[in-house]
């Protein structure tokens, strides 16, 4: 034990002359060793955290060239999307800062011939919220002695800024972030040591943040988080700070996932984690078993296409070990038989694509006689159905960091509900906030448009629905055995869709259309919504999803020969849905049926996207794979930036 009562995990002489000799220590439990976490397989851990829309933090202290390491880290975080980038590096007598709006490549070009030389630094990719994407608004933000990068929102920045300005501070940006270096500077000027100044400054912040800071001439990084993820990467001779593991994965897979309120001091003596008051906290280092290659595009042109094609594997992982079709049994980790006997009703809360998965899950539960509703998480506080301690609230969120969903989860907890997170991210805020978590094991999803995580959410929600209905003695979602068998065959069914080439041809055929409509009934309805969302977000074309029966109540006015209508079939009351499609067809709209090859719709429709025969409950999931492909090819033919659509973030951590 050291003086702080902590074990030193890493003890290493560093060769670098600038920071040598030194040791890296991490507070861990006395007897513990680094735990191994199998990433994205059976005990999945999702490595993408989420900060405010699209921002990314990287920090490095060690023996490497900081400039190169930070730029690589920023490139690794590019998938999150951003509009400006910057770095700050301890560079001999002071901090060298370079930042600019635009791509990391532009930042790289601007420092290509620089003489910046140091091994300690911080970097950032910014997505603008307070102030446009200008060089001045890009991070790091600095004062005479302090450089700071920040993800999140400082809610009380206006009053802090006013106070600091009254004390003579001159602001050079429109950002909320800039108050942080000024606060730290002020405390330093008042005579406090750097660490104390950092803690005092952080104590003044309201809102959500992950912050990394550096003080001129100090080979130390200071960092903290509240509501925005921050992870520490540990190497024998280096330490990394990042908003997401891929930032440093090529250097180390030993990570510490920080919790809200943790403060990290990384210097030549080690990495120390405390609370804001300075009391040591115990954080278990974990080894993530993820090949950096997994996060690459491989032979695919886009992450989205890669992720669509990964669905046979990700679906297999979602259900692996959880269902036994032969015996008709379900084994959902902690959710054994009897877990949900105290539940009167189920509410699923989610946003965007996850909301569509939640609608799918709610429909399956209701079909089995369980009272279940999907509610948009951002509407939940104002429009939640009645909640009590017999309500099970399921937060469906791939990232586990969506602010709307987290706030709704808080609301459910406050009302006394039992909460469960269905997420892709071990260690995410949702997983930690909820009473329990169930992981979809989809693996890293880098493309902004959610694809494989939707499929895995749906598959897992269907398995969960079986467990809940069995516990409540309700009618199983469908014939339980048959559904489990069909789930077991799902990866192969998706594989057969991926082998086809129909989606690309359909996208080409309707390329000149004015708008794209998607309709479905029952489980086809959330798929219609999801088909339209996927299409619009990556093609930028007008696309809308409707319940097929709603078409005649208004949207039909929009239908013309230039508005193809995609019809999701293969589920419930197909004949009615087909009738609705024909109403559009009569008005000249080309109808594209998504259904098995021998379905009656193929005789009526103008075009056909085939899906294999499957259980009714799974037809929508398969249809959605075809719609993902149509959206992808349509966007590709339009040459859109598919993995990073304009204005969108992979995870949205503001309400
Ligand atoms: C669309 C998409 C978003 C997310 C939504 C919720 O392709 O990805 O609509 O589904 O922002 O995100 P999570 O699931 O992380 O809560």
Instruction: List pLDDT tens digits, range 61-85.
Output: 998 999 999 999 998 887 666 789 9
Q: Summarize the confidence of residues 614-621 as an average pLDDT.
A: 95
Question: Predicted confidence band at 561 (pLDDT cuts at 50, 70, 90)?
Answer: very high
For residue 45, give the 3-state DSSP assignment.
Answer: coil
Question: Which amino acid residue places its CA nearest to atom 8 of ligand 1?
Answer: 450
Position 18 scores a pLDDT of 34
Question: Predicted confidence band at 129 (pLDDT cuts at 50, 70, 90)?
Answer: confident
Handedness of CA 147, 153, 154, 158 (dihedral sign): positive
Task: Please report, rounded to a whole number, the percentage of residues in the chain having pLDDT higher than 70.
Answer: 89
In contact, 411 and 384? CB cutoff 8 Å: yes
pLDDT at 22 over 60: no
pLDDT at 270 over 90: no
pLDDT at 35 over 50: no
- Atom of ligand 1 minimally distant from the CA of 352: 9
Could you give the CA distance from residue 528 to residue 225 in angstroms, rounded to a whole number? 38
| Total-model pTM | 0.69
Within 10 angstroms of residue 190's Cβ, the number of other Cβ atoms is 10
Question: Which amino acid residue places its CA nearest to atom 15 of ligand 1?
Answer: 399
Could you give the CA distance from residue 205 to residue 171 in angstroms, rounded to a whole number? 17
Nearest Cα to Cα of residue 287 among 34, 82, 640, 94: 34
Question: How far, in Å, is the centroid of ligand 1 from the Cα of 429?
Answer: 15
pLDDT at 298 over 80: no
In contact, 527 and 627? CB cutoff 8 Å: yes
pLDDT at 36 over 70: no
Position 291 scores a pLDDT of 62
Pocket test for ligand 1, best of 229, 303, 351 (most atoms within 8 A of CB): 351
Question: Predicted confidence band at 527 (pLDDT cuts at 50, 70, 90)?
Answer: very high
Q: Summarize the confidence of residues 165-170 as an average pLDDT.
A: 96
Position 10 scores a pLDDT of 26
Nearest Cα to Cα of residue 204 among 190, 227, 184, 230: 184
Position 293 scores a pLDDT of 58
pLDDT at 401 over 80: yes
pLDDT at 276 over 60: yes
pLDDT at 115 over 90: no
pLDDT at 450 over 50: yes
- Atom of ligand 1 minimally distant from the CA of 423: 14
Instruction: Identify the weakest region by mean pLDDT among 425-429, 549-553, 563-567, 581-585.
Output: 425-429
pLDDT at 15 over 50: no
Whether the CB of 422 sits within 6 Å of ligand 1:
no
Whether the CB of 450 sits within 6 Å of ligand 1:
yes
Nearest Cα to Cα of residue 625 among 307, 346, 252, 338: 307
Position 49 scores a pLDDT of 32
In contact, 191 and 197? CB cutoff 8 Å: no
Could you give the CA distance from residue 372 to residue 364 in angstroms, rounded to a whole number? 9
In contact, 183 and 260? CB cutoff 8 Å: no
Question: Predicted confidence band at 352 (pLDDT cuts at 50, 70, 90)?
Answer: very high
Task: Please report, rounded to a whole number, the percentage of residues in the chain having pLDDT higher than 90.
Answer: 69
List the structure tokens of 3. Answer: 């003086």
Could you give the CA distance from residue 450 to residue 461 in angstroms, rounded to a whole number? 16
List the structure tokens of 327. Answer: 């015996």
DSSP 557: G
Instruction: Identify the weakest region by mean pLDDT among 306-315, 351-360, 472-481.
Output: 472-481
Question: How far, in Å, is the centroid of ligand 1 from the Cα of 128?
Answer: 19
Whether the CB of 285 sits within 6 Å of ligand 1:
no
In contact, 358 and 394? CB cutoff 8 Å: yes
Nearest Cα to Cα of residue 54 among 75, 83, 85, 82: 82
Question: How far, in Å, is the centroid of ligand 1 from the Cα of 397?
Answer: 7
pLDDT at 243 over 80: yes
Question: How far, in Å, is the centroid of ligand 1 from the Cα of 354?
Answer: 6
Question: How far, in Å, is the centroid of ligand 1 from the Cα of 300?
Answer: 22
Pocket test for ligand 1, best of 49, 54, 402 (most atoms within 8 A of CB): 402
How is 365-403 classified by DSSP, letter by letter? HHHTT-EEEEEEHHHHHHHPPP--TTEEEEEEESSS--H
637 phi/psi in degrees, rounded to 5: -65, -25
pLDDT at 639 over 90: yes
3-state SS, 252-288, equals: CCEEEECCCCCEEEEECCEEEEECCCCCECCCCCEEE
Whether the CB of 304 sits within 6 Å of ligand 1:
no
pLDDT at 39 over 50: no
In contact, 540 and 508? CB cutoff 8 Å: no
Give the mean pLDDT of the chain: 87
Q: Summarize the confidence of residues 167-193 as an average pLDDT.
A: 96
Question: Which amino acid residue places its CA nearest to atom 10 of ligand 1?
Answer: 353
In contact, 524 and 611? CB cutoff 8 Å: no
Within 10 angstroms of residue 171's Cβ, the number of other Cβ atoms is 14
Question: Predicted confidence band at 37 (pLDDT cuts at 50, 70, 90)?
Answer: very low
Whether the CB of 628 sits within 6 Å of ligand 1:
no
* Nearby residues of 527 by Cβ (< 8 Å), 6 or more positions away: 356, 360, 518, 520, 568, 620, 621, 623, 624, 627
Could you give the CA distance from residue 624 to residue 621 in angstroms, rounded to a whole number? 5
Pocket test for ligand 1, best of 47, 81, 352, 399 (most atoms within 8 A of CB): 352
Give the C-alpha distances (Å, rounded to integers) separating 16 from 96, 116, 238, 552. Answer: 20, 16, 10, 72
Whether the CB of 651 sits within 6 Å of ligand 1:
yes
Q: Where would I find the beta strands (DSSP E) of 508-600?
A: 516-520, 543-547, 565-568, 591-595
Whether the CB of 457 sits within 6 Å of ligand 1:
no
For residue 89, give the 3-state DSSP assignment.
Answer: strand
Position 571 scores a pLDDT of 79
401 phi/psi in degrees, rounded to 5: -125, 0
Whether the CB of 652 sits within 6 Å of ligand 1:
yes
Could you give the CA distance from residue 213 to residue 202 in angstroms, rounded to a whole number? 11
Could you give the CA distance from residue 82 to residue 105 in angstroms, rounded to a whole number? 12
3-state SS, 290-351, equals: CCHHHHCCCCCCCHHHHHHHCHHHHHHHHHCCCEECCCCEECECCECCCCCCCCCEEEEEEC
Q: Summarize the confidence of residues 281-310 as an average pLDDT.
A: 82
Q: At what angle do helices 616-637 and 524-539 cross, to 10 degrees?
A: 10
For residue 516, give the 3-state DSSP assignment.
Answer: strand
pLDDT at 13 over 80: no
List the structure tokens of 133. Answer: 């994407």
Q: Summarize the confidence of residues 43-51 as an average pLDDT.
A: 31
Whether the CB of 429 sits within 6 Å of ligand 1:
no
| Through-space distance between the first and last CA atoms of the chain, rounded to whole angstroms | 43
Position 435 scores a pLDDT of 96
Whether the CB of 399 sits within 6 Å of ligand 1:
yes
Within 10 angstroms of residue 344's Cβ, the number of other Cβ atoms is 12
Position 222 scores a pLDDT of 98
pLDDT at 7 over 80: no
- Atom of ligand 1 minimally distant from the CA of 534: 7
**Chain CA centroid to CA 194, Å:** 34
* Catalytic residue annotation: 55, 650
Most confidently modeled range among 15-24, 186-195, 440-449, 646-655 = 186-195
Whether the CB of 405 sits within 6 Å of ligand 1:
yes
DSSP 227: B
């Amino acid at each position: 034990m050291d003086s702080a009562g902590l074990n030193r995990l890493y003890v290493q002489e560093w060769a670098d002359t600038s920071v040598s000799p030194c040791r890296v220590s991490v507070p861990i439990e006395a007897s513990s060793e680094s735990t191994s976490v199998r990433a994205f397989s059976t005990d999945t851990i999702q490595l993408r955290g989420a900060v405010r829309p699209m921002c990314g933090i990287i920090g490095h202290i060690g023996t490497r060239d900081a400039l190169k390491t930070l730029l690589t880290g920023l490139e690794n975080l590019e998938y999150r999307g951003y509009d400006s980038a910057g770095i700050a590096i301890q560079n001999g007598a002071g901090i060298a800062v370079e930042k600019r709006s635009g791509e990391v490549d532009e930042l790289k070009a601007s420092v290509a011939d620089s003489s910046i030389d140091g091994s300690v630094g911080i970097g950032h990719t910014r997505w603008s919220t307070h102030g446009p994407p200008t060089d001045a608004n890009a991070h790091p933000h600095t004062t005479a002695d302090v450089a700071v990068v920040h993800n999140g929102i400082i809610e009380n920045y206006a009053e802090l800024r006013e106070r600091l300005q009254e004390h003579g501070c001159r602001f050079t940006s429109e950002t909320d972030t800039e108050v942080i270096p000024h606060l730290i500077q002020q405390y330093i000027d008042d005579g406090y040591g750097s660490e104390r100044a950092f803690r005092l400054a952080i104590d003044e912040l309201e809102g959500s943040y992950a912050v990394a800071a550096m003080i001129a001439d100090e080979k130390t990084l200071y960092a903290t988080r509240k509501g925005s993820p921050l992870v520490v990467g540990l190497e024998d001779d280096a330490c990394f700070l990042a908003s997401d593991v891929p930032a440093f994965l090529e250097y180390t897979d030993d990570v510490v996932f920080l919790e809200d309120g943790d403060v990290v001091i990384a210097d030549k003596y080690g990495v120390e984690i405390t609370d804001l008051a300075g009391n040591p906290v115990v954080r278990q280092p974990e080894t993530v078993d993820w090949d950096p290659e997994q996060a690459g595009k491989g032979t695919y042109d886009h992450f989205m296409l890669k992720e669509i094609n990964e669905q046979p594997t990700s679906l297999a992982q979602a259900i692996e070990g959880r269902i036994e079709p032969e015996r008709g049994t379900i084994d959902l980790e902690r959710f054994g038989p009897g877990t949900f006997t105290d539940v009167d009703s189920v509410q699923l809360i989610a946003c965007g694509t996850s909301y569509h998965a939640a609608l799918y899950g709610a429909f399956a539960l209701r079909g089995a006689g369980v009272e279940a509703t999907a509610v948009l998480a951002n509407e939940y506080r104002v429009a939640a159905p009645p909640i009590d301690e017999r309500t099970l609230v399921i937060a469906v969120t791939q990232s586990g960091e969506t602010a709307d969903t987290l706030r709704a989860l808080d609301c459910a907890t406050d009302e006394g509900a039992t909460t469960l997170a269905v997420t892709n991210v071990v260690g995410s805020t949702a997983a930690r906030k909820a009473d329990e978590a169930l992981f979809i094991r989809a693996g890293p999803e880098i493309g902004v448009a959610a694809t494989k995580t939707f499929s895995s959410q749906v598959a897992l929600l269907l398995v969960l629905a079986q467990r809940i209905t069995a516990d409540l003695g309700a009618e199983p979602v469908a014939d339980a055995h048959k559904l489990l068998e069909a789930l077991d065959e799902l990866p192969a069914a998706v594989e057969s869709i991926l082998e086809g080439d129909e989606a690309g041809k359909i996208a080409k055929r309707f390329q000149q259309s004015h708008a794209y409509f998607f309709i479905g009934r029952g489980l086809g309805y959330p798929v219609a919504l999801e088909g339209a969302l996927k299409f619009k977000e990556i093609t930028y074309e007008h696309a809308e999803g409707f319940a097929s029966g709603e078409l005649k109540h208004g949207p039909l006015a929009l239908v013309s020969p230039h508005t193809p209508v995609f019809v999701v079939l293969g589920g419930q009351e197909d004949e009615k849905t087909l009738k609705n499609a024909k109403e559009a067809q009569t008005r000249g709209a080309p109808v594209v049926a998504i259904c098995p090859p021998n379905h009656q719709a193929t005789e009526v429709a103008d075009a056909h996207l085939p899906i294999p025969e499957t259980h009714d409950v799974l037809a929508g999931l398969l249809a959605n794979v075809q719609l993902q492909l149509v959206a992808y090819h349509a966007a590709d033919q339009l040459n859109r930036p598919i993995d990073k659509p304009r204005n969108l973030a992979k995870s949205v951590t503001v309400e």
